[in-house]
Amino acid sequence: MIRLCDKSGWTYNYEKTNCGTMFNLSWSADSTMLAGASGNGSLLVGTIVDKVLKNDQFELTLHEDNQIYVLDLIH
């Protein structure tokens, strides 16, 4: 099982796999993609979606790996 947690340990999501023990995980530089190598030779690739960044004027949501929704909070 792969479990996605925040820095305090709260689980956001988990995925059960049939690939054996995960030996190595690596995040992309912008922390939106994950790749992992397992004990049976499988390669797992995942993408973070619905990540939200917000400031006083805009809210940006990473909807899919190639789509960002922009919401203007002022207008």
Q: Cα separation of 16 and 10, whole Å?
A: 17
For position 59, what pLDDT does the model report? 92
| Domain ranges within the chain, ordered by starting residue | 2-72
**CA–centroid distance for 3 within its chain:** 11
Tens digits of residue pLDDT in 15-41: 888 888 888 889 999 888 889 998 888
Band of pLDDT at residue 65, cut at 50, 70 and 90: low
Read off φ and ψ for residue 33, nearest 5 degrees.
Answer: -130, 145
Residue range 1-5: average pLDDT? 82
pLDDT surpasses 80 at 49? no
Secondary structure (3-state) at 67: strand
The residue with tokens 């990473």 is 62
